[in-house]
Amino acid sequence: MRRLFLFAAVLAAAACNSAKPPEKKAAAVEPPKPVEYFHVDPATAGTIHGRITYTGAKPERKVIDMDSDAACQKAHAGHPVYDESLVTGKSGGLANAFVYIQSGLEGKKFEPAEGSVVLNQHGCMFQPRVFGIRAGQTMAVRNSDTVSHNIHPKPTNNYDWNQQQSPGAPDLEHRFPRADVMIPVKCNVHSWMRAFIGVVDHPYFAVTGLDGSFQLKNVPPGDYTLAVWQEKLGEQKQTVHLAPSGTAAVNFTYP
Amino acid sequence: MTNITKFALFVPIALLAGCGHSGPSYRVYISNESSGDLTIIDPVRMEATGTVPIGKRARGIHPSVDGKLIYIALSGSPLAPPGVDESTLPPPDKSADGIGVYDIAQNKLLRKIPGGSDPEQFAVGRDGTLYISNEDAAGVSFVDPVKGEVLHTIATGEEPEGVTVTPDGKLIYATSEDAGTVTVIDIATAKALKTIKVGRRPRNVTFLPDGSRAFVSNENDGTLSVIDTSTQEAIHTISLGEGQKPMGQAMSRDGSRLYVTTGRGKQVFILEPSTEKILASFEVGQRPWGIALSPDEKLLFTANGPSNDVSIVDVATHAVIKKVKAGNRPWGVLVLGQ
C-alpha cells in the first residue's frame, strides 16, 4: 500500500510539473514614442479670411432683467445691460460668430497651446461671451463680482460639471480634452448669463467682432471645410481650397 | 448521526427560522448618480440589502403603473468637476442616454429605452406613457415604454427639469429652470396650454391629492410657488428663508403635509398646504434632494448626495434615526410596496 501511495505521489508531481507553463521572458518595456507634431511650413502657408454678415431685420435690443439680484444691478450703476445673443455692427457685420476649420486637418497633430484663456464673470455677465480654446488648453474661470456664481458648462463631447465660485475665490482651472463645438455655459444662479466655448484640436479658429470679419493665418495649403456658428442663427459651412502661399476669401451671409 | 445529534441540530435551526421577521411590506430604492446603480434598502432592518448596476448617471426614478418595474433616467454625459483630469476618463457616451427598465422580481435591468438627450426627470402617466424632460432639447418627450418609441416632443421653456402629471392624469406640469416658468401640457392633444411664471430655477412640482393646488420648489429664490390649477396662475409664494434651496417634495396622502428637501440648506421643511404655513424644519444630512414617505407615513427617506447616504427620519419626532450607506451620490428615492 505504501508503495502505491509513493508511486501516485510521484506521478502527480510529474503531472504538475509537466502542466507548468514555460517561463515567459520579461518583455522589454519600450519607452513611449514621442508625439510627432505637425509643423506648418511658413514657405507654403496661406491665409483664409472673410466676413460674416447678417441681412435680416436688426434685432431689437432687449434689456436684461437683473431685478432678482441687487448686487448685479448695482454693478451696472443703473445702466441697462442688453442681451448679446445677436449683435450686429455697421454694414451688417455679425459679431460673436465662431469660425473654424471643421475638416481637412485630419491626421495632423498640432503642438499644445500654451497659456490659459480667461472666462471672467463681471457685472453678472460672462466675458467674453463667445471664445475659442484648444483641446487640452487651460481655461481659467474668474469671478470679479461681489456675488457668488455657479458656472455650469454643458458639453456634448466632454464631461458635465458645475462649480460654485464665491467672490474673491481663486480662478477655477479646467481643461476640455476633446474637440467640442460649441459648449454652452450658464450660471446656475443667474439665468441670463450665457457664454459659448468652441473647443478645437488645432489653432485655426476666430471669433468675429462688430465688423464681422475674420482671418486665419499660417494655414497649410489644402482643401478644407470652413464652418461658422452663431448662437441664434446656427451653423453654415463652405469648402475652400487654399493654394500654397495663397489667400482664400470666404464670406457667409445669414439668414 | 445519532438521534440526539440530529435533535441538537434541529432545535437551533427551528429557533432561528422562527425568529426571522416576515420581511418588510415595502422597499426603498435609491438611484445613485455617480456609481450608476440602484441601492435597495430594507426599511425594517434599516440597511441596504442590495446594489444593482443600472447605467450611467442614474437620476429620476419612478415605478411602472403595475408596480412591477422601475424606470430610471440614465445619461451618458457624466460629471467631472474641475480638478479631475478628464483626459484620463473615457469620453462621454450619448448612446448611454435613456430610461433603464429594472424588473423588481428578477432584480435586474431588463433593457434601456430611448428617453431623448440627457434625461434627468420624468413622470409616468396613467396609461404607462413616460413624460421626460430633455434639457438640451428644451422640451418634454412622450415615450411609449413598451415599444421604446418617442411619440412626441413638446417645446417648453429653456432647460426643462421637473415633470409631474396632475392627479386626474390629464395634464403635465413641467418646470423650466432657465425661464423660471411652469409649462402646462395637455396629454390628450400633446399641446402646451399655458406657461406660468414662478420663481427662479424651479425644480419640482407636487399637487394636492385633489389637484386644486400645485407647489413648485424654486431653488434659487428659496421659495415655493403655489399655483391655483383652476386658473393656472401662481397665487402665492412661500419663503423658506435665507440659504434654503428647495428641491424635492413629498406630499402626504391626505394633503395635510408637504415635505420639502432644501439641498445645500441640509434641511427638510414641513408645510401645511391648507394654511401655507411652515410647521417645522430640521437638518437631515448633506444636500438632500430626493425624498419619499413610507406607506404608513411614519418614516421619511432623503437622498444625501455628497455624503453618499440616505437619512431615515422619524416623522413624529423629526429625528434622523439612521443614515444608511448608499452608492455614490444618491439622487432619487422611491418607496414601493412588495
Model pLDDT for residues B260-278, shown as the tens digit of each residue = 999 999 999 999 999 999 9
User: Which residues in A lie closer than 8 A to residue B91 (C-beta atoms)?
Assistant: 157-158, 178
Show the cell assigned to B7: 435533535
Separation between Cα atoms, residue A93 and residue A149, nearest integer Å: 32
pLDDT number for residue A163: 93
Could you count the other beta carbons within 10 Å of the beta carbon of residue A203? 18
pLDDT-based confidence at residue B91 (cuts at 50, 70, 90): confident
pLDDT greater than 90 at residue A51: yes
pLDDT number for residue B81: 75
What is the least distance, in Å, from the CA of B59 to any CA of chain A?
14
DSSP string, A3-16: HHHHHHHHHHHHHH
From B86, B136, B201, residue closest to A158, measured CB to CB: B86
pLDDT number for residue A27: 60
What is the least distance, in Å, from the CA of B266 to any CA of chain A?
17
Q: What is the DSSP letter of A132?
A: E
Show the cell assigned to B184: 402646462
From A141, A160, A163, residue closest to B77, measured CB to CB: A160
The chain B residue lying nearest A139, using CA atoms, is: B82
Residues counted in chain B: 338
pLDDT greater than 50 at residue A19: no
Average pLDDT on B127-156 reads: 91
From A156, A160, A189, residue closest to B220, measured CB to CB: A189
pLDDT greater than 50 at residue B199: yes
pLDDT greater than 80 at residue B136: no
Question: Which 3 state secondary structure label does DSSP give A74?
Answer: helix
Model confidence over A116-140: pLDDT tens digits?
Answer: 999 999 999 999 999 999 999 999 9
Phi and psi (nearest 5°) for B171?
-125, 160
What is the least distance, in Å, from the CA of A209 to any CA of chain B?
27
The chain B residue lying nearest A177, using CA atoms, is: B87
Average pLDDT on B36-64 reads: 97
**Could you give the ipTM of this predicted complex?**
0.76
- Residue to mutate among A158, A162, A165, with most B CBs inside 10 A, is A158
Question: Which 3 state secondary structure label does DSSP give A122?
Answer: strand
Model confidence over B218-231: pLDDT tens digits?
Answer: 999 999 999 999 99
The chain B residue lying nearest A137, using CA atoms, is: B87
Instruction: Return the closest-CA partner of residue B107 out of B162, B165, B27, B167.
Output: B27
Show the cell assigned to B214: 400645485
The chain B residue lying nearest A165, using CA atoms, is: B82
pLDDT-based confidence at residue A38 (cuts at 50, 70, 90): very high
User: Which residues in B lie closer than 8 A to residue A160 (C-beta atoms)?
Assistant: 77-80, 92
pLDDT number for residue B94: 86
Which of A:65-84 have CB within 8 Å of B?
A: 68
pLDDT number for residue A215: 98
Mean pLDDT estimate for chain B: 91
- Cβ pair B87:A177 closer than 8 A: yes
What is the least distance, in Å, from the CA of B136 to any CA of chain A?
9
Separation between Cα atoms, residue A232 and residue A210, nearest integer Å: 16
Separation between Cα atoms, residue B230 and residue B234, nearest integer Å: 11
Q: B44-58, B82-96, B130-144 — which is least confidently predicted?
A: B82-96
- Cβ pair B80:A159 closer than 8 A: yes
User: Which residues in B lie closer than 8 A to residue A68 (C-beta atoms)?
Assistant: 200, 220-221
- Cβ pair A188:B92 closer than 8 A: no
Contacts of B218 (CB under 8 A, 6+ apart): B180, B198, B199, B200, B201, B202, B203, B224, B225, B246
pLDDT number for residue B16: 38
pLDDT number for residue B7: 40
What is the least distance, in Å, from the CA of B88 to any CA of chain A?
9
User: Which residues in B lie closer than 8 A to residue A173 (C-beta atoms)?
Assistant: 82
Contacts of A26 (CB under 8 A, 6+ apart): none
CB A232 within 8 A of CB A129: no
Strands B223-228 and B233-239: antiparallel
- Cβ pair A157:B91 closer than 8 A: yes
Report the DSSP beta bridge partners of residue A234: A230
pLDDT-based confidence at residue B22 (cuts at 50, 70, 90): low
pLDDT number for residue B286: 95
pLDDT-based confidence at residue B11 (cuts at 50, 70, 90): very low
Separation between Cα atoms, residue A109 and residue A37, nearest integer Å: 5
User: Which residues in B lie closer than 8 A to residue A176 (C-beta atoms)?
Assistant: 86
Q: B41-45, B82-86, B244-248, B295-299 — which is least confidently predicted?
A: B82-86
Q: A25-29, A92-96, B92-96 — which is least confidently predicted?
A: A25-29
Instruction: Give me the sheet containing A172-175, strands edge to edge.
Output: A125-127, A116-122, A138-143, A172-175
**pLDDT more than 90, % of chain A:** 81
Average pLDDT on A203-207 reads: 98
Does the beta carbon of A170 lie under 8 angstroms from any beta carbon of chain B?
no
Model confidence over A73-85: pLDDT tens digits?
Answer: 999 998 999 999 9
User: Which residues in A lie closer than 8 A to residue B136 (C-beta atoms)?
Assistant: 154
pLDDT-based confidence at residue B328 (cuts at 50, 70, 90): very high
Q: A6-10, A149-153, A221-225, B109-113 — which is least confidently predicted?
A: A6-10
pLDDT number for residue B1: 43
pLDDT number for residue A78: 86
